[in-house]
Amino acid sequence: MDKLVTDIGIAGIAGRMGCLLADMVRADQSLHLAGGTTHRRPAPDGVVVARDIAALALASDVVVDFTTAAAVADHAAALTRSGTGWVLGTTGLDAEAEAVVAGAGLTIPIVYAANFAPGVVALLAVAEMLGAALPASEYDAEIVEMHHRQKVDAPSGTAIALGRAVATGRRVALEDVRASGRDGHTGERPTGAIGFAALRGGQVVGEHTVLFAGASEHVALSHRAFDRAVFAAGALRAASWLAGRPAGLYTMRDVLGLGGAGPPLA
């Protein structure tokens, strides 16, 4: 029989997302807060702090992880050992770390998303569609994002996911056409490039625009998150959906029942 209450562990429970997730888990009767891990920060009041990720994994059905890319390999090893589900929202993963996540998905169920907001999940689908509809030879794709001053990775995981969506629509690999951080004498814009610009400042939760710039028209898709609660609610929805599923690397499209594979790891 399925468990009525899902035990949720929160990696990085003292962080901005971690604190919010802890409050939301405690307010949800279908979830139980099994505890959390911290790193050089005191945990919020009343939280059971696990000795390490392995101990947290053993106490949890699903671990929700918004920490740092440097922790991904350790977390993957601990969660696969205990067979615990993993909702991974950490961004800034390099190709090696993403390969570790894909490998863990052979053993445990994982939802990995650069952005858990339902509006962004829909935006990714539309970006892929426009990527396919507007030829790269005529429309220059540029992705602009802005985040709070504490953010450590750029461009944001969501910006990269949007770039991958456009690239998937164009049937190219993002790595082959990506243009980030232009500065100095850059030369003309190569046809087919997908450009990224990252703004940092204030306490902006997350703003993204995908622009298709043609000679005579522009199409712009924009998303603005006002409150981190949208990410936390999406991550907990993913955690409830994931509990008891077979091993696999799932996306928010799967969680929201939107079908289709979507761009890889978006």
Nearer to ligand NAD, 91 or 168 (CB): 91
Residue with smallest beta-carbon separation from ligand NAD: 15
Sort strands 206-213 and 140-147 into parallel, antiparallel or unpaired.
Answer: antiparallel
Establish whether 147 is a catalytic residue: yes
Nearest approach, Cβ of 107 to ligand NAD (angstroms)? 20
Indicate which residue of 3, 32, 147, 208 is catalytic. 147
- Rounded to a whole number of angstroms, the minimum distance from the CB of residue 84 to ligand NAD is 15
Tokens of 127: 């970006």
For the CB of residue 157, give the shortest distance to ligand NAD in the complex, in Å.
Answer: 6
Is position 39 annotated as part of the catalytic site?
Answer: no
The answer to whether 249 touches 102, Cβ cutoff 8 Å, is: yes
For strands 194-200 and 206-213, give the pairing. Answer: unpaired
In the bound complex, what is the minimum distance in angstroms from residue 108's beta carbon to ligand NAD?
A: 18
Q: How far apart are CA 99 and CA 142, in angstroms?
A: 27
**Strands 6-11 and 31-37, how do they pair?**
parallel
Reference 125, options 241, 258, 217; nearest CA is 258
Torsion sign (Cα): 80, 81, 84, 89: negative
Q: Which is nearer to ligand NAD, 67 or 251 (CB)?
A: 67
55 Ramachandran zone, left/alpha/beta (phi>0; psi -120 to 50): alpha
* Cβ 173 to ligand NAD shortest distance, Å: 22
Q: List the catalytic residue out of 32, 148, 151, 208.
A: 151
The residue (of 121 and 134) whose beta carbon lies closer to ligand NAD is 121
Give the tokens for residue 109. Answer: 């169920």
Nearer to ligand NAD, 39 or 224 (CB): 39
Gap between the Cα atoms of 133 and 137, Å rounded:
12
Binding site for ligand NAD (CB under 6 A): 11-12, 14-18, 37-41, 66-68, 71, 89-92, 113-116, 231
DSSP three-state, residue 239: helix
Nearest CB to ligand NAD, comparing residues 3 and 148: 148
Determine how β-strand 194-200 pairs with β-strand 140-147: parallel
In the chain, the amino acid numbered 215 is A
Q: What is the DSSP letter of 150?
A: T
Catalytic residues: 147, 151
